[in-house]
Amino acid sequence: MSECCGTTATIEAPVEPRVAGRIRTVALVGPPNSGKSTLFNRLTGLRQKVANYPGVTVEQRVGRLNGIGRGDLTLIDLPGIYGLDSYSEDARVAVDVLHGEMPGTPAPDAILLVLDSLQLRRQLMLAAPVLNLGLPTLVLLNMSDLMEARGGRVDTLALAQELGVPVAKISATRGAGLDAITHFLNRKAEAEKPVPAEGRIELPVMGNPRSYRQWATGISTRTKYKAPLSNEWTKRIDGVLLHRIWGPLIFLVVVFAVFQVVFSIGQPLSDAFGEVLNAGGGRIGALLGHGWVESLLIDGVWRGVASVLVFLPQILLLFLFIGVLEDSGYLARAALIADRVMRSIGLNGKAFIPLLSAYACAVPAIMATRTIENKRDRFATILVAPFMTCSARLPIYMLMIAAFIPNTPLLGDFFGLRAAVMLSLYVLGFVAALGTAWLLKSSILKASSAPFILELPQYRLPTVRSLSLRLVDRGKVFLRQAGTVILAVTIVLWILSHIPFHADLAGSVIGRLGQLVEPVIKPLGFNWKIGIGLLTSVLAREVIVGTLGTLYGADPATQSLGLQAALRHDLTLGGAMALVVFFAFAMQCTSTIAIVRRETNSWRWPAVQFAYMSVLAYVAALATNQAILHFVH
Amino acid sequence: MVAIALLSDFGVEEADELDLSGAWKLRQLSELPIGTVGVVESLDLPGEIQHHLMHMGFMPEARVMVVRRAPAGDPTVYSIDGFEVALRRDTAGAIRVREYEGQNTRQG
């Protein structure tokens, strides 16, 4: 391995990177579902950077080739594509990266082309435009172990001759055959001559799928490609899971189970985690002594960030479920079953699981919309998701219901008035989501032709490795939000509630703001304390409970009462119900705002969404309060 | 006999040479009953979707088998090139196929 080749090229941006025999950046190219991400994870290990390409919503994944001991090389994972004709945003990004025209991304010096050997004939179509780029390329036939186990075969030597580039059989899930990649990269680094003679191989007319097809068919015939027998198990399982009666039943059971586990296991986990965080904060606070530093760090930063971190166990649990569903292949079947219903509200079946996840938390739900390829459908789902009743709304719902609604039995002991109010709040959020989806799809996100093209992968057992990588990945995205945006907002809120110095909360800037907005929120039945709660809960919905606790605790008139009694002393039934209705609609969640910003790659969408939801919340709360004032009393 | 030869081989040029006038009837893919095989004749969809479908294998002379319908009756799962893809009725309706009447050959 000679490191130097006599060139003075450095890593600076506009250098001519494609110097023969010098490889620094490798691009991973492949069609969707070719096992590309699994291979990327194998080759890079856990250290990878995930970001968006500038100006688009396509995710960029970059890592070092540590997995095969070449930490000096950078691997870029391109989005899954069928061809290089720039029909889709994904393909446009891939073309720009491969041509070295993507700002901030180094031009690749070599390509690893991953093809699913179970469907080689179809996947070979991508080889034509990729080989046409003329970069050193290694073709990797992924899942070749599965192909051979099912009676498929291909002559790799003949294939290498046909394509004019080396070909290797690998299994990304098992990590087999990866040394071929090491050999390829080392040999390329030693080679004096550039790419092998290209004149020998024949490529089809570029840009025409039909000629690609004929070319690919010709090659698969000449290389004696025999497709594996289709998986009989998949057919049999589908016979049950997509059965006219069993299919929807099993689907409902799965949905119910996910719900049940996220709430019955996730909620106690989150609560326990919250207690650990609070105890930790108390310990550190004790070390710091009393003073403004302690107050800023503990009451401000630690509490604020902790109030978001407590969602981490639930989020990870939810992603574990989604991961199992997706990796096993059931997610595609769920989308197929849900499509008919989702279509009636203008969304597609792939939006079902994200919307379901939003009942736990909108943040993972919005991250899960990545499975929806159609951009308009995806944005509609993102904009609708925060209406689902997430777990952060439960503290304020429970507080107000316990304080204002008597537990009159309606249907025996199991279903009382309190449960009915709680259920109607869930329904309210769902109806708002439906209405908004309909509104969006018939206005700004009107799609003349949103197709539903869903590939049904064969069933597979999810691997622990890919599940854990997924959890680490999603956990990192969430923590980065908590570490940046939320931290900043927390500090600002703390400062606003502590200046001028020596003022109590009511006299602080935020307290004054609360009093300032009082005339605006008075028609809703809210007082200035609720106003402050609304302002602080922009950070996260559950913060209002803590804020109200502090405010009523500091007020001499209500000091001796518990929070519920204090609220009854201060609010009417109309105001209390208006408050929960407000929370059903308002986008009081910095994490959601931040994640929408990240996923849509623009501030425009979260701004529009925040404004829309706030207006809706205000109007609905106003209507609730006025209705109760006029009709109940 | 001719139909079976066509169905058992993927050869594109070969299919073009065969004249099966009379034995074939032009239909929409969405109209085919479950278990039958159609040969794609043409696609009439907006550019990006058509392109996407063609890269997935829906191109003239490709064989498509109707595998099953979703529990709600739509979308329908089609098998093309050994993998399965679900399309809604309106998308499948824009794909014209030839169907061999009376054929009952199942795709391998």
8 Å CB contact between B97 and B103: no
CA distance A398 to A415: 15
8 Å CB contact between A139 and A159: yes
Mutate to test the interface with B, among A242, A341, A352, A459 (most CBs of B within 10 A): A242
CA distance A58 to A93: 8
Decide: helix, strand or coil at residue B36.
Answer: coil
Which residues does chain A have within 8 Å of residue B85's beta carbon, measured at their own beta carbons? 453-456
Identify the pLDDT of residue B82. 75
CA distance A579 to A395: 12
Longest distance between any two alpha carbons in chain B, whole Å: 40
How many other CB atoms are found less than 10 A from the CB of residue A446? 11
A209: nearest CB among B12, B13, B59 = B59
DSSP conformation letters of A373-438: -SHHHHHHHHHHGGGS--GGGHHHHHHHHHHH----EEETTTEEHHHHHHHHHHHHHHHHHHHHHH
Kindly provide the b/e burial profile for residues A506-517, where b requires at least 16 CB atoms within 10 angstroms of the residue's own CB: bebebbbbbbeb
Decide: helix, strand or coil at residue B105.
Answer: coil
Using the Cβ of B51 and the Cβ atoms of chain A, whether some distance falls under 8 Å is answered with yes
Q: Is A93 exposed, middle or buried (0-12, 13-18, 19+ CB in 10 A)?
A: buried
For residue A334, what are the CA distances in angstroms to A340, A342, A368, A631?
11, 11, 14, 44
Kindly indicate the confidence band of residue B5, based on its pLDDT and cuts at 50, 70 and 90. very low
Supply φ then ψ for residue A380, to 5 degrees.
-60, -40
Identify the pLDDT of residue A66. 87
Rg (CA), chain A: 28
Using the Cβ of B22 and the Cβ atoms of chain A, whether some distance falls under 8 Å is answered with no
> What is the SS3 assignment for A301-364?
HHHHHHHHHCCHHHHHHHHHHHHHHHHHCHHHHHHHHHHHHHHHCCCCHHHHHHHHHCCCCHHH
CA distance A328 to A265: 22
User: Domain B2-100 class?
Assistant: mainly beta
CA distance A115 to A32: 9
The two structure tokens encoding residue A392:
């952060």
Identify the pLDDT of residue A607. 96
Q: In CATH, which of 2.60.120.620, 3.40.50.1700, 3.90.1300.10, 3.40.50.300 is domain A25-229? A: 3.40.50.300
Residue in chain B lying closest to A243 (CA)? B71
Residue tagged 């529990």 (tokens): B71
Identify the pLDDT of residue B3. 42
Name the nearest CA neighbour of B78 among B39, B27, B34: B34
The two structure tokens encoding residue A317:
């649990």
The two structure tokens encoding residue A417:
């008035």
CA distance A556 to A552: 8
DSSP conformation letters of A525-544: T--HHHHHHHHHTTSBTTHH
In what order do the strands lie in the sheet containing B76-80? A453-456, B83-87, B76-80, B63-69, B37-43, B95-100, B24-28
8 Å CB contact between A254 and A334: yes
Residue in chain A lying closest to B11 (CA)? A217
Using the Cβ of A249 and the Cβ atoms of chain B, whether some distance falls under 8 Å is answered with no
In sequence order, the 6+-apart residues with CB closer than 8 A to the CB of A229 are: A150, A151, A152, B108
CA distance A493 to A487: 10
Kindly indicate the confidence band of residue B76, based on its pLDDT and cuts at 50, 70 and 90. very high
Strands B63-69 and B37-43: antiparallel
Strands A70-77 and A415-416: unpaired
Helices (H) and strands (E) in chain A, counts: 29, 10
Kindly indicate the confidence band of residue B65, based on its pLDDT and cuts at 50, 70 and 90. very high
Q: Between chains, do A247 and B82 touch, taking CB under 8 Å as contact?
A: no
A453: nearest CB among B10, B11, B53 = B53
B59: nearest CB among A213, A230, A454 = A213
In sequence order, the 6+-apart residues with CB closer than 8 A to the CB of A342 are: A348, A349, A351, A352
8 Å CB contact between A550 and A529: no
Domains of chain B: which residue ranges? 2-100
Using the Cβ of B75 and the Cβ atoms of chain A, whether some distance falls under 8 Å is answered with yes
Predicted complex ipTM exceeds 0.85: no
8 Å CB contact between A114 and A34: yes
8 Å CB contact between A124 and A219: yes
Identify the pLDDT of residue A46. 65
- A168 membership: H or E segment, kind and range: strand A167-169
Q: Between chains, do A245 and B71 touch, taking CB under 8 Å as contact?
A: yes
B71: nearest CB among A83, A209, A242 = A242
| Dihedral angle sign, alpha carbons of residues A335, A341, A344, A347 | negative
CA distance A16 to A7: 11
Identify the pLDDT of residue A482. 64
Q: Between chains, do A242 and B83 touch, taking CB under 8 Å as contact?
A: no
Kindly provide the b/e burial profile for residues A132-144, where b requires at least 16 CB atoms within 10 angstroms of the residue's own CB: ebebbbbbbbbbb
A336: nearest CB among B11, B47, B70 = B70
The two structure tokens encoding residue A576:
């209390």
Domains of chain A: which residue ranges? 25-229, 470-632
Per run of 10 residues, the mean pLDDT along chain A (length 633 residues) is 36 43 86 84 76 70 87 89 77 88 88 91 89 92 88 90 92 88 81 49 75 87 84 86 93 82 76 84 80 76 73 80 86 90 83 83 84 82 93 85 85 76 89 90 67 84 83 78 69 78 75 89 91 85 80 70 84 94 93 87 92 96 94 72
Q: Which residue has the higher pLDDT, B52 or B66?
A: B66
Q: Number of A:B CB contacts under 8 A?
A: 119
8 Å CB contact between A262 and A314: yes
Using the Cβ of B14 and the Cβ atoms of chain A, whether some distance falls under 8 Å is answered with no
Using the Cβ of B46 and the Cβ atoms of chain A, whether some distance falls under 8 Å is answered with yes
Q: Between chains, do B91 and A214 touch, taking CB under 8 Å as contact?
A: no
8 Å CB contact between A540 and A308: yes
Which residues does chain A have within 8 Å of residue B43's beta carbon, measured at their own beta carbons? none
8 Å CB contact between A183 and B29: no
Helix axes B47-55, A209-222, angle to 10 degrees: 0
